[in-house]
Amino acid sequence: MSTVFIAFQTNEETRPIIESILEDNPHAVLDEQPAMVKINAEGSLVIRRASIEERIGRDFDLQELQVNLITLSGNLDEDDDQLTLAWKN
């Protein structure tokens, strides 16, 4: 399997997003740096809108991720409810 990842700026806005991603992807590994947080996962990584909304207590558009997004690795498949990173073979 191949590793995918997503990296965000480290700030108060991204903290609940990161917590949601880690809860939904127990196989993911958190790599904290001084100014960024990188989440690595073997195979795939799924970001669910509903999980983030539950944590932040308001509606969330997955496009909001781009405000604090640094980079990502993997093929991106996105709809209104979830964003999935995976390498397509």
Contacts of 60 (CB under 8 A, 6+ apart): 49, 52, 53
* Residue 57: inside a domain: yes
* Residue 85: inside a domain: no
Q: How many CB atoms are closer than 10 A to CB 20?
A: 21
Count: domains in the chain? 1
Domain extent at residue 27: 1-10+17-34+52-61
| Rounded average pLDDT over 57-61 | 97
* Residue 47: inside a domain: no
- pLDDT the model gives residue 57: 96
At residue 72, φ and ψ (nearest 5 deg) are -150, 160
Does residue 7 have a pLDDT over 70?
yes
Place of tokens 């990842």: 5
* Residue 68: inside a domain: no
CA distance 37 to 22: 12
* Residue 77: inside a domain: no
* Residue 46: inside a domain: no
* Residue 2: inside a domain: yes
* Residue 44: inside a domain: no
* pTM, two decimal places: 0.93
What are the pLDDT digits (tens) for 11-51? 999 999 999 999 999 999 999 999 999 999 999 999 999 99
